[in-house]
Amino acid sequence: MPIFEYSCSGCGDQFELLVLAATVLACPKCQSGQIERLISVPAVKSASTHALAMKAAKSRDKRQASDLNRGQREYELHHND
């Protein structure tokens, strides 16, 4: 589920939003549209957030691993010349 953490520029509140195509992004407290998505999750508040963070970390690790493999392959190709 696309749950993201946001910080409101209007009242400074931080909250999680389930963002779907039809979701209007606004602060639940002051209804301000001036909200910013937080890149890092400062604290694990719920099991769903935790699972999401774990999933993100896993896919990031996988991406890094494939980058590493590609780099190694390119090195070997070059090395054989």
Q: Which amino acid is present at 19?
A: V
Interface with Zn ion, residue 52, by CB under 5 A: no
Q: Distance (Å, rounded) from C-alpha 48 to C-alpha 42?
A: 15
Interface with Zn ion, residue 38, by CB under 5 A: no
Interface with Zn ion, residue 7, by CB under 5 A: no
Interface with Zn ion, residue 10, by CB under 5 A: yes
Interface with Zn ion, residue 26, by CB under 5 A: no
- Least Å distance, CB 41 to Zn ion, is 19
Among 14, 15, 26, 30, binds Zn ion (CB under 5 A): 30
Interface with Zn ion, residue 25, by CB under 5 A: no
SS (H, E, C) the chain: CCEEEEEECCCCCEEEEECCCCCCCCCCCCCCCCEEECCCCCCCCCHHHHHHHHHHHHHHHHHHHHHHHHHHHHHHHHHHC
Binding site for Zn ion (CB under 5 A): 8, 10-11, 13, 27, 29-30, 32
